[in-house]
Structure 1
Amino acid sequence: MSDVKLVVCHECDLICHEVSLHVGEAACCPRCHARLFHRNRSTLDQTLALAFTTAILFFIMNTFPLMSLHLQQNTRETSLFGAALAMWDREMHVLCLLVILTTIVAPALQIGIEIYILAYIKWGTRIQTTSLPMMILQKLRPWSMVEVFMLGLLVSLVKLKDLADIIVGPAFWSCAGLIVVSAIMGGMLTPRNVWMWSQERKSHVNC
């Protein structure tokens, strides 16, 4: 009985036996047909490489200009933090704080926790649970809204294109890349994959 692996459905709480899947297959609950888990090709090394990629893209997004506006011999550049400060100067204090929270603080914490979880599984000298960091990550992910900021930025570009010459900066492309890489990370860094990688690490250490 100790070798029997069970899975609890997150929709109807039905306890099911875990089944072996081929790559690309998914297991569904026999009662409510909700997806229990999905097997993909992601590995620990691939996910860790993507985590470092998100950190680099996030650094570029917050360091280099988002865009430059050229109007009547005047050129102005703005960065992500500079745009938030401009809102503060215009007395939009709540909006400024929301932008900083959802596009700087929350993504930074999310990337840091992701790297911590993966690096600890990969190189940790002591085997301990990663359930608490994973729970924090799951709660934190909805607060990371870089894609919402990107959508607002695109709307602004469309409105300003007839008023001034707009030069897109490196941070703009880094923001677009961060959205794509983060979406891929969300499908790879799942609680099930973290548990599987931790079990493989424990088995390797015990051997």
Structure 2
Amino acid sequence: MSDVKFVVCHECDLLCREVSLKVGEAACCPRCGAKLFHHNRSTLDQTLALAITTAVLFSIMNTFPLMALHLQQNTRETSLFGAALAMWDRDMPVLCLLVILTTIAAPALQIGIELYILLNIKWGKHPQTTSLPMIVLQKLRPWSMVEVFMLGLLVSLVKLKDLADIIVGPAFWSCAGLIVVSAIMGSMLTPRHVWMWSQERKSHAHL
């Protein structure tokens, strides 16, 4: 029995015996049907590389122009933060703060926590102290809505294409890349993987 491992369902708290899975398979709770864990080949180094990639893409997204409008010999560029401030100038302070929260503040905090967790597991002296940051990360992820902003931006581009010449900036492509990389990160940086990497690091330290 010492070799038997168990996992607790995060939905109904049922104690389930852990089973071995093939790559791509997922284990579900026999009582409520919630997915317990998904088996993939993600490693700590791969996930850390993706986290660094998200940080670079996020920096580009907030540094370079998002798009530019060329109309009657006039060109006006705007950035992500500039677009949010434009809503403030048009007497939409709540929408402005919501955009800043969901597309700048929450993603920045999320990327920072992800980097902290991965760097702490890889080089930290106490890799087991990542439980609280992981809980915060799980609560924070639903507030990161870069993909919602991207969808709204695409709708705006379709409506403006007949009124002015639209020049897509580097931040636009960085935003698109960030959505894809963040989705992959969500499947790789899970509580189960963090626990497994921490245990591996702990066992190597005792050798």
TM superposition score normalised by structure 1: 0.96
Partner of 1:5: 5
CA distance in 1 between counterparts of 2:127 and 2:181 reads 28
CA distance in 2 between counterparts of 1:90 and 1:11 reads 44
Partner of 1:191: 191
CA distance in 2 between counterparts of 1:127 and 1:148 reads 34
1:14 CA drift (Å): 1.8
1:24 CA drift (Å): 1.9
1:2 CA drift (Å): 4.6
CA distance in 2 between counterparts of 1:197 and 1:4 reads 19
Which consecutive residues of structure 2, in runs of 5 or more, have no partner in the other structure? Answer: none
* 2:167 partner SS: strand
String of CA shifts for 1:6-42, please: whole Å, max 9, x gaps: 1112233221111222222222223333322111011
Partner of 2:69: 69
TM superposition score normalised by structure 2: 0.96
1:114 CA drift (Å): 0.2
Partner of 2:122: 122
* 1:201 partner SS: helix
CA distance in 2 between counterparts of 1:135 and 1:12 reads 18
* 1:129 partner SS: helix
* 1:166 partner SS: strand
Which consecutive residues of structure 1, in runs of 5 or more, have no partner in the other structure? Answer: none
Partner of 2:94: 94
Partner of 1:132: 132
Aligned pairs (5 A) from 1:32-51? 32-51=32-51
Is 2:104 the partner of 1:104?
Answer: yes
CA distance in 1 between counterparts of 2:143 and 2:72 reads 39
Partner of 2:141: 141
Partner of 2:173: 173
Partner of 1:156: 156
Is 2:25 the partner of 1:25?
Answer: yes
